[in-house]
Structure 1
Amino acid sequence: MNSFGFEYPYLLLLIPFFIICFLKCKAKESAIIFPHLNILKKAGSKKRFLLDFLKLTSVFLLVVALAMPIKIDKSVEIKNYGYDIALAIDASGSMKERGFDPSNPLMDKFNVVKTLIKDFIKKRENDNISLVVFGSFAYTASPLTFNKKVLKKIVDYLNIGIAGQKTAIFDAIAQGVSLLKKGDAKSKILILLTDGIDTASQIPLDVVLRMAKKYNIKIYTIGIGSKRDINMFLLNKIAKESGGKFYFAKNANDLKKVYEDINRLEKSKIRGKDFVKKEQLYPYVLFLSIMFLLFYIYLYGRRGV
């Protein structure tokens, strides 16, 4: 999106002073006695108007040039760097279990996870992130976006059971892949977090793995809570076959370390940050000012001819 501005806009305040000076500070010239003055005025009025116009325009453009006009392009992005990330969060009924965070035993697992995910989102400021929530079914809570403030607000509004009480892990992976395949980044990762086993998916495991491989998407799987409640073999298989990694987090401290490890492994370069491209316009304005001034000097020199 293009817009216009000035590097030194305060210099434009000089324009009113020049106008006042032009109106009040008339140059005194030697008097000429002419018997038919009205005829002379008519002959010179048009030329005087043109001279005044050229002089004022030249001064006006000169002041504008001094104010350094610029064209600002805010639509330019750095491409082909960084990551497209899909966060898949388990919101099934089992996530209401408490005691996952030793420092806050009354907080349920889901709210602990929400806090850590928001912190992870904050650290990935140069990445394009989407959000998938799953329970009995999987749905897109947010498409790929750079707007981290909005994304964190969406996380705040999520609740346990919002997608049903069961667990559809494979459907969540498929939903994440469908979001990531639309992204432009060369590096794409899906981070799936669950505290249970798949009990509700409609899409088979081999299908979602083929989808992930087709679009070169790494899957990081995270099992939280108790080992007896998750299928560690399955989560490890998903991660290994997609080029990702499997993690197990017994408590909140472990989970925090997991996200920190993923953040280190998949460190992003600067990508997608809007930057302001400025084009200096003052040479064109200054050129016009000089042209008007030269034309003024030419006509002023010929006024007696």
Structure 2
Amino acid sequence: MTLDYDLLEALLAQVDFGLLPDGTAIGSAIANGVNRLADSRARSRILVLLTDGENNAGPIDPLTAARLAAERGVRVYTIGVGREGIARVPVQTPFGTRYRRMESHIDEAVLKRIARETGGRYFRADAPDALAAVFATVDRLERSEVAAPVYHRYGELFPWPAAAALGLVLLEILLRAGPLSAAG
């Protein structure tokens, strides 16, 4: 976890989705997430699984991974994104990115079971606004205190007294060398 959102945005901007092979490895994604949370001492450990399809790749069965998550105390919130039916899908070709019309199917039954077995919830987001609402709901469900270090920006105050002292020294020099100095 990080509180450095600028760094997170910079790292996400570097992600190249074109290098990924076609397929959805839901079980592998859950197992990888559980593994990364293994050393976390956080009070609430969750995964948010966002998918537009069904498990069709990877060596780990999604329900086996869900049982692993439940055993390790990790809740999985599953989100089915997109619409059922024919969808335009970007495909990398030697000539660049092309769009191909493909059948899209979200395995809601498996996503609901994953959420239920881990103590999470299943959400359906078939529009951009719906996805924002889902994330807001998850945020409300998993609200927790995060101890963030407090940084103070200190400003140097030295120049102000130094300038006043310099002004007094210059005034002293002028008074000693000026017309009033002969009278004293």
Tell me which interval the TM-score lies in, with the shorter structure as reference length.
0.5 to 0.7
* Deviation, structure 1 residue 146: 3.4
Matched-pair contact (CA < 8 Å) for 2:26–2:62: no
Which residue pairs with 1:125 in the alignment?
none
Scaled by the length of structure 2, the TM-score of the pair is 0.67
Distance across 1 between alignment mates of 2:63 and 2:108:
17
Distance across 2 between alignment mates of 1:195 and 1:247:
12
Matching of residue 165 in structure 1 with residue 61 in structure 2: no
Which residue pairs with 1:174 in the alignment?
31
Which consecutive residues of structure 1, in runs of 5 or more, have no partner in the other structure? 1-127, 129-144, 277-305
Which residue pairs with 1:243 in the alignment?
119
Superposed, 1:73-222 pairs within 5 Å as 128=1, 145-222=2-79
* Equivalent pairs, count: 132
Matching residue's letter, 1:184: R
Q: Which has the larger radius of gyration?
A: 1
Which consecutive residues of structure 2, in runs of 5 or more, have no partner in the other structure? 86-104, 152-184
* Deviation, structure 1 residue 195: 0.4
Matched-pair contact (CA < 8 Å) for 2:55–2:62: no
- Corresponding residue to 2:133 among 257, 262, 271: 257
Identity %: 33
Query: Greater share of helix residues, 1 or 2?
Result: 1
Which residue pairs with 1:272 in the alignment?
147
Distance across 2 between alignment mates of 1:211 and 1:161:
30
* 1:248 counterpart SS class: strand
CA offsets, 1:155-196, max 9 Å, x none?
A: 122233333221111100000000111111121000010101
For CA contacts below 8 A with separation 6 or more, give which structure has more relative contact order: 1
Which residue pairs with 2:174 in the alignment?
none
Matching residue's letter, 2:21: G
Distance across 2 between alignment mates of 1:196 and 1:210:
21
* Deviation, structure 1 residue 275: 4.1
Matching residue's letter, 1:261: T
